[in-house]
Amino acid sequence: MVFGMTPFTFFHVALSLVGIVAGLAVVAAWLRDHRHERWTDVFLISTLATTVTGFMFPFTGFTPALGVGIVSALVLVVALVARYGFRLSNHWRETFIITSLVALYLNVFVLVVQAFQKIAVLNALAPTGTEQPFALVQGLVLLGFIFVGYLLLSRHRMVPA
């Protein structure tokens, strides 16, 4: 057990955190009109690995986690095709920005869910995940991602391929 988690769960969580940190670094670079190829690769690989390992946990039926995993997998496939298949040409650049932001948002969404489930102070505020503090945080996260997406797409700020 590592921090009360099985080694596999710890690996999955570590991948997720790497993906979030790398994704935030990539978005910050895009906002400054830069491209960081290595950080982008780290983001895509770790986020894809997080999604894949998420499907390796035992389950007995459809859960919200599986729904998030399915959406994340579909979004990541489109992001990978836009980046590596079409090399961000034409509208594939905007497609890549949108799908990358959605993939990062889904990771952050799950991070917030897990934080409210596992951190005692947050869990006391929203023990079932349906309370106002949880909804407020998730709403602010969503609005933040929408705002960043708007900035990136309206200004065409990312340096072309």
Tell me the per-residue pLDDT of 10-38, one tens digit each, with 9 for 90 and over.
999 999 999 999 999 999 999 998 888 99
pLDDT of residue 126: 96
Residue 96's identity, in one-letter code, is F
Which SS3 state, helix, strand or coil, does residue 156 take?
A: coil
Distance CA 119, CA 117 (A): 6
β partners of residue 2: 5
Q: Which residues of the chain have pLDDT under 50?
A: none
Domain residue ranges of the chain, discontinuous segments joined by +: 7-155
pLDDT at res. 118: 94
What pLDDT score does 138 carry?
Answer: 98
pLDDT at residue 8 in the model: 96
pTM metric for this prediction? 0.94
CA distances from 7 to 2, 39, 92, 155 (A): 6, 25, 38, 43
> Structure tokens of 129?
């995940």
Look at residue 1 in the predicted model and tell me its pLDDT: 77
Render the burial of 136-153: b for 16+ CB within 10 Å, e for the rest: ebbeeeeeebeebbeebe
SS3 at position 55: coil
Q: For residue 2, what pLDDT is reported?
A: 72
pLDDT for position 18: 98
Whole-number pLDDT of residue 20 = 98
